[in-house]
Amino acid sequence: MQKFMALFCRFFTKVSVLFLFMITSLSAAHATIVVSVKPIGFIVEAIADGVTDTSVLLPDGASPHTYSLKPSDLAKIHSAELVVWISEDMETFLPNVLKSVAESKQLALTAIPQIQTLLRKGHSQANGDSDHHDDASDHDHDHGTHDEHIWLSPQIVKIIAHTIRDRLIAQYPDKQAVVDENLNEFMINLTETEQNIAKKLIPVQNKGYFVFHDAYGYFESQFGLKNLGSFTLNPAVQPGVQTVYAIQQSLKEHHAVCVFREPQFSPSVIDKLVKGTTVRVGELDPLGTGIAPAKDAYSQLLLKLTGQLLACLDHQ
């Protein structure tokens, strides 16, 4: 009897291994488009709706500048039908793993020629405000020569949407009607949103502000906003006396109305910087935190950003 049990157990183990293997290959067969950051995921999802699934690597609250991949991410990347990402300057955690992924299954957005011609120069060249680097160091934007926050350019986003459309139609020719309808809907919605935002932001176009993350250049230039410059700070480190002084001088000198922090900065650090000035503190979220997947999610992200700008700049 014992011998029988042992045999049975061995058999059972083999069956479960086989079963596990089947599950794994099934999920591998169920390919999806894997996208690095949420805003790009919103775009891909809107175009691929009803055709294939979209999966976003970075969870809410994670920054593409500092993220590192989990084992489950690696599995997702390796079973993806397509990996959509921005560039090695933005997602520094991706190039290594992508070496083992066929090139035909990768789409680096900044490599698209039409997008390349629209890339803005990086921070120091664009703003001329390169004097606040005292404590600063570990931020990405120092080594990138272009502004990689391309999802905040509606113009570039439209090219991304068209590119995803072309890819999907090449892969699923029988789904062309669905994909084209998705693209059409996306374009109409985005164009309306742009007009809507342009109107909303007119009253604050001459209100100067500083940011703590130079991510908004595309959006600011499209809507004529008055970014006075950016302070590069390590959110985890209290700024030194000299940095605090230099930032306060800049705020006064340029008559800034607001400074915008992002959720990773503790309010106490920012309060220290604006102490003794009339500058208000606002918050900006470039990644659409908390926005649920929906066909108009990308427009929602732009509208959320607009609301956050207005909340501080247009404050009476």
Interface with Zn ion by CB under 5 A: which residues? 215
Of the pair 185, 262, the CB lying nearest Zn ion is at 262
Give the shortest CB-16-to-Zn ion separation in angstroms: 45
Query: Please, how many CA atoms are within 13 Å of residue 271, restricted to the half-sphere of its CB?
Result: 3
116: its two tokens: 């390349």
Give the shortest CB-147-to-Zn ion separation in angstroms: 9
Q: How does DSSP assign 264-311, residue by residue?
A: TS-HHHHHHHHTTS--EEEE--TT-TTPPP-TTHHHHHHHHHHHHHHH
Of the pair 35, 168, the CB lying nearest Zn ion is at 35
Give the shortest CB-284-to-Zn ion separation in angstroms: 11
Give the shortest CB-35-to-Zn ion separation in angstroms: 17
| CB-CB contact of 261 with 270 (8 Å) | yes
Provide the 3-class DSSP secondary structure of residue 14: helix
Of the pair 67, 223, the CB lying nearest Zn ion is at 67
Q: Indicate the helix (H) or strand (E) that contains 20.
A: helix 2-29
Which residues on adjacent β-strands are paired with residue 32?
53
Which residues on adjacent β-strands are paired with residue 55?
34
Query: Please, how many CA atoms are within 13 Å of residue 156, restricted to the half-sphere of its CB?
Result: 25
Of the pair 239, 286, the CB lying nearest Zn ion is at 286
Q: Label the pairing between strands 82-85 and 106-108.
A: parallel
Give the shortest CB-145-to-Zn ion separation in angstroms: 14
Phi, psi of 59 (to 5 degrees): -75, 165
Give the shortest CB-256-to-Zn ion separation in angstroms: 21
One-letter amino acid for residue 160 of the chain: I
Of the pair 45, 214, the CB lying nearest Zn ion is at 214
Nearest residue relative to Zn ion (C-beta): 215
Of the pair 141, 165, the CB lying nearest Zn ion is at 141
Contacts from 54-58 at CB under 8 Å and sequence distance 24+? 55/80, 58/287
Of the pair 215, 279, the CB lying nearest Zn ion is at 215
Please provide the distance, in angstroms rounded to a whole number, between the alpha carbons at the two ends of the chain.
Answer: 85
Alpha-carbon Rg for the chain in angstroms: 23
Of the pair 51, 90, the CB lying nearest Zn ion is at 90
Give the shortest CB-227-to-Zn ion separation in angstroms: 14
Give the shortest CB-232-to-Zn ion separation in angstroms: 11
